[in-house]
Every structure is written in structure tokens, then in C-alpha cells.
Amino acid sequence: MHNDPALLRVERLTKTYSRRSWLAARHPEMPAVAGVDLELRAKHCLAIVGASGSGKSTLARCIAGLEQPTSGRIQFAGRELHAAMIHRRIQLIFQDPGASLNPRFRVAEALEEPLVIHGKNFGREETVERLRQVGLAESMAERLTSQLSGGQKARLALARALAALDQGHPNILILDESLASLDLSVQAQMVNLLLDLRKPRQLAYILIAHDLSLALHWAGEIAVMYQGQIVERNTPHMLLADPRHPHTKQLVAASLEKESLTTEGGGGRPGV
């Protein structure tokens, strides 16, 4: 069914951690993800927002193939994705992009890792070009990843994820609270970069966050997650105007408060 308009379709996804896993300590009886349905079209941006423990990270990892769902279906472009293929179509960028880089590796080595794993290689020129695409200078290539700043590490993590994805097809990039740890100005630059890359690399984004601030700026649709389930889903505009679920109302209230604090502070919102 290649004509399925949805690039990603998730049906009744559930993930329960067995009691023996240390992760079960937080929710020993409740499943982390409880029957989630979701859809994402190519080149769209979906934000999944919820408090810690709502299961949003677990959901993201299941979609990215880093965890096995207990039950449910994940379809990519109308077909179930074979485990070996997932990482070429869906990539996840972690909460602390810097931590996803081995500090002993050089930048070029880290960038090429996705390919080296499959026995291929970039030439020097291609490596430099890819670094440039995310705003990293050629001189960075031989530095140790531990020597980069937070923002530079985020860019490198992005470049790696892009390197792993198949070119010429629509793909999905999941950002698991990846921008939260960055300075506001760096955040803004990253968001710009991601938006710039959307069309040329045919990327759809799933943004995982614990508050609405970033989501409101650039998500096409927001899904609110609470205790393992999607409780509300709407466009940002409609969500702000008419929140239904109590948790959504909390999130909206919190974001408005944050908004007013920054405007009152006299600095205005950082432009996107």
C-alpha cells in the first residue's frame, strides 16, 4: 500500500517492562506505553508533549527500534519495517546529544560511524561537506568530540543521524527532548537548521518535549501524552484556544505563564 498518505502509522502500541527490569521500578504495574495510535505524514512535524513518566521517551524509542514493543504495530510507508532497516529510515537524537558521542572518538570518526558499521565509508570531501551542512567548520573534523561545545555536539549528532538515513526517501527524525539542554540562542539556531533541512532531506520530525514552548513554535500537530496514552491531539492554535483534557490545560497554563514571564522580563521571545 504505497499510496498510504501517512509515512508512519502506529497502532495500539503497548510497552510494559517486566518486573525484573530496573526501569519497572517507576511503574511496576502500569505499562509505560498503553495502546497508543499515531500518524505522521512526510515532511510534517508532530510534537508529543507530556510530563516525565508519561511514556513519551519510551514511545519514541519503540518507534526508532531501540526497544521492542510488547504489542501493537508500527508501519512505515504502509509496510512493517524490518529491524535491520529501521535505522535507515528513522533516527532518534537523544536528550543529551553530547552524551551520544563517544568522547574518545574524533569528530570525523563519529560522523562516519553509521556508515563504517555497514562497511562503507565517506571520502574526506563528503565528510567535510556534511559537517558544513550542519554548520560545523572543516577544522573540527580532527578534534575529539569531547572538545566540542554543547551546540556543536548537537549539530554533530544531527549530522550523524542524517548520515545514517537513506538519501532520496522521506525519512523521520525523532528529537527526544534533544534541544532542551541547549542555550536558548543555540536552540533557536538548531531549530532553524532543522527547518532548513526539512525539504531538501525530506524529513518528518517527531518532537518529544515536556512543555509546550518549542512545540508551539514549529509543530504542525501536538499530541499530549499522559500516563502512557495520548489524551488529546490538535493543532497548536486549537490546543491553546480550547484545551480539553485536564493535563492539557495544565500544560497550556504553564506555557502561558512562562510566556508572560519572558515578555515581562523585557527581553521578548527569542525569534525563531
Containing 192, the helix (H) or strand (E) segment is helix 184-198
Contact pick of 130, 160, 233, 247 for other proteins (by CB under 8 A): 160
Contact 73, 62 (CB under 8 A): no
Select from 86-94, 123-131, 146-154, 235-243 the region that touches other proteins (CB under 8 A). Answer: 86-94
Under rule CB under 8 A, residue 76 binds other proteins = no
How far is residue 8's CA from residue 239's CA, in Å, rounded to a whole number?
23
Under rule CB under 8 A, residue 89 binds other proteins = no
How far is residue 207's CA from residue 187's CA, in Å, rounded to a whole number?
13
How far is residue 253's CA from residue 94's CA, in Å, rounded to a whole number?
27
DSSP three-state, residue 142: helix
Under rule CB under 8 A, residue 65 binds other proteins = yes
The grid cell for 161 is 543521524
Q: Which is nearer to other proteins, 44 or 160 (CB)?
A: 160
| Interacting positions 201-240 with other proteins (CB under 8 A) | none
Q: Closest Cα partner for 227 from 28, 74, 56, 61? A: 56
Select from 84-92, 202-210, 243-251, 263-271 the region that touches other proteins (CB under 8 A). Answer: 84-92
Under rule CB under 8 A, residue 100 binds other proteins = yes
Under rule CB under 8 A, residue 37 binds other proteins = no
DSSP code of 241? H
Backbone angles phi and psi of 172, in degrees to 5: -120, 135
Instruction: Provide the pairing of β-strand 171-176 with 90-93.
Output: parallel
Q: Which is nearer to other proteins, 6 or 115 (CB)?
A: 115
Site string for other proteins, 102-121 (x = CB under 8 A): x-x--------xx--xx---
Q: Which is nearer to other proteins, 100 or 127 (CB)?
A: 100
Residues making contact with other proteins (CB under 8 A): 64-66, 84, 87-88, 91-92, 94, 96, 99-102, 104, 113-114, 117-118, 157, 160, 164
